[in-house]
Amino acid sequence: MLTISGLKEGIVLDHIQAGKAMKIYKYLGLDELDHQIAIIKNAPSKKMGRKDIIKIDGALDLDLDVLGYIDHNITVNIIRDDVIVEKKTLKLPKKITNVIRCKNPRCITSIEQELPNIFVLADEKDKTYRCLYCEEKYGQTGH
């Protein structure tokens, strides 16, 4: 396995479904950070066979809510002084912006390209979201 040194302080996103790391990199806006970031693709995993890992050095105050929507099985480890001080449990975010697009051809987002695609959690149990503008349903399975 490829070796990347541990973090002194930062966040490790572990157990990312293999191949999804770049998507998460984009959704979390990591491309806009100046911090050192390591993306490990297809790392061997006992639990998953293969997995992706993202290590973010030095950043502790990231908004990770969107991960709850993308994949709640991702493990979020907060590292301080070389040790894991917190394992975050991911919840479904109340609102997600520009992660999914509204597919309703009658929605205002279909003609106003600059509008952010905002979906609001409608049913936590069924993991369904609805478009803020037209209320079109978007189920988790569609992702």
Partner 1 sequence: MRHVISPLDFTVEELDQLLDLANDIEHHREKYAHACDGKILATLFYEPSTRTRLSFESAMLRMGGKVLGFSSASSSSAAKGESVSDTLRMISCYADICAMRHPKEGAALVGSMAASIPVINAGDGGHQHPTQTLTDMLTIRSLKGRLDNMTIGLCGDLKFGRTVHSLINAMVRYPGIRFVLISPKELRIPDYTRENVLEANGIPYEEVTSLDEAMPKLDILYMTRVQRERFFNEEEYIRMKDCYILDKAKMALGKEDMLVLHPLPRVNEISVEVDSDPRAAYFRQVQFGVYVRMALILTLLGIQVQ
Neighbours of 96 (CB within 10 A): 21
Q: Give the nearer residue to partner 1 in terms of CB position, either 46 or 106.
A: 106
Tell me how far, at minimum, the Cβ of 70 lies from partner 1, in Å. Answer: 24
Q: Minimum distance between the CB of residue 133 and partner 1, rounded to whole angstroms?
A: 2
Task: Report long-range pairs for 97-100 (Cβ below 8 Å, ≥24 apart).
Answer: 99/27, 99/66, 99/69, 99/70, 100/129, 100/138, 100/142, 100/143
Between the CA of residue 104 and those of 131, 138, 139, 141, what are the distances in Å? 9, 10, 14, 17
**Which residues of the chain form contacts with partner 1 (CB under 8 A)?**
104-112, 114-115, 122-123, 130-137
Minimum distance, C-beta of residue 124 to partner 1, in the bound complex (Å)? 13
Which DSSP letter does residue 19 get? T
Distances (CA, A) of 87 to 9, 130, 134: 14, 29, 37
Q: Minimal distance in Å, beta carbon 97 to partner 1?
A: 14
Q: Which is nearer to partner 1, 123 or 124 (CB)?
A: 123
* Complex with partner 1: residue 7 or 102, whichever CB lies closer: 102
The answer to whether residues 46 and 72 touch, using CB atoms and an 8 Å cutoff, is no
Q: Which is nearer to partner 1, 86 or 123 (CB)?
A: 123
Shortest distance, position 65 Cβ to partner 1, whole Å: 22
**Residue 17 or 104 with smaller CB distance to partner 1:** 104
